[in-house]
Structure 1
Amino acid sequence: MNGKILLLVVVVASAAAQRRPYAYRAPESSEESYESTEAKYNFNWAVSDDSSSNEFGHQEARDGDDTQGSYYVQLPDGRLQTVKYFVDGDSGYVAEVSYEGEARYPDSYESFESFESREYRPPRPVYG
């Protein structure tokens, strides 16, 4: 029995010794060249929720290195904030911020109650 085990160990060791180690090779270069395509897109989206008087949106267009756009949001104080921007090569992101309307603040908690209720209510489920 010991002889068979010894023979098995010798055969396994011999097979393992003859196996070549794995060698990593760098991928071979290809003669194909791929032309890079310049980025080009245009998108626009907006949200207007009448129940909360919440309005916001974003627009952006890009053609190669030329990127420009704007976004806006209805602030809690009643003003509309608009940011117009463009990307200027090495200078990066350049923005111009403007506001429309006049800020409104309640005088006290009681006057705040007179404002339209902005209490959060989860949406009702719709099954269909």
Structure 2
Amino acid sequence: TSRDQHIVPLLSDLFNTSKQTPTDPSTTITMVVTKVLMLTCLVAAVAATPIDPYGHQQYKHEPKPYSFSYGVEDKNYGPNFSQHEKSDGKNVKGSYTVQLPDGRKQTVTYTADHHNGFHADVQYYGKAQYPPPSKYPPFVVKPQHYAPAPHFDQPSYH
């Protein structure tokens, strides 16, 4: 068509760096479409790259030493435990004690740091005591059987 005769040479001059215009218009159109497609892909790839690199920003934290301890002793219901812990900001040392239901006391002494990880030493004090079995006979429920009986209310006509 006449329109293609005017546009194809113009686009060919625009995109053809070798300045050799092919004689076949379909080849020229194919080359132009290929170059436009490549340019579009390049623009899309540049637009898709992140401005900031992925990942979180690293912050330098100064070591924050701390120390705490607490304890609970309930003589009515039995919870009895405590914990003590101290840190210089890099290493943690501590222990906790728990009164177990069998009468023993469990003490865990632990240390933790970035190089060796968490290490615990568990100690038990006392002897496990189990109460004697109950002397009461087990409770037995005797099933009761009822004979079926029809029950109809008297109709009321008021």
Please indicate the TM-score interval, normalised by the length of the shorter structure: 0.5 to 0.7
| TM-score (norm: length of structure 2) | 0.46
TM-score (norm 1): 0.56
- Of 104, 108, 113, 1:79 maps to 104
1:92 equivalent in alignment to 2:117: yes
d(CA) in 2 for partners of 1:63, 1:108: 50
Computing the radius of gyration over CA atoms, which structure comes out larger, 1 or 2? 2
Q: Check whether the contact 1:88–1:94 (CA below 8 A) recurs between aligned residues.
A: no
Per the alignment, residue 62 of structure 2 pairs with 37
The CA distance in 1 between the partners of 2:126 and 2:62, in whole Å, is: 43
Change (3 A) 1:91 1:44: same
Query: After the TM superposition, which residues 1-128 of structure 1 pair with which residues of structure 2 at under 5 Å, given as runs?
Result: 36-110=61-135
CA RMSD in angstroms comes to 2.6
Flag the structure with more relative contact order, 1 or 2, with Cα contacts below 8 A and sequence separation at least 6.
Answer: 1
Q: May I ask how many residue pairs the two structures share in their alignment? A: 84
- Report percent identity of matched pairs: 40
Structure 2 unaligned blocks of 5 or more: 1-50, 53-58, 137-158
Aligned-pair distance for 1:35? 6.4
Cα distance in structure 2, aligned partners of 1:104 and 1:60? 30
Q: 2:23 is matched with which residue?
A: none
Question: 1:37 & 1:89 partners in 2: Cα distance?
Answer: 15
Deviations 1:36-55 (A, max 9, x none): 32121000000000112321
Deviations 1:44-99 (A, max 9, x none): 00000011232101111000211100011100000010000001432210000001
Aligned partner of residue 77 in structure 2, secondary structure? coil
| 1:43 match: secondary structure | strand
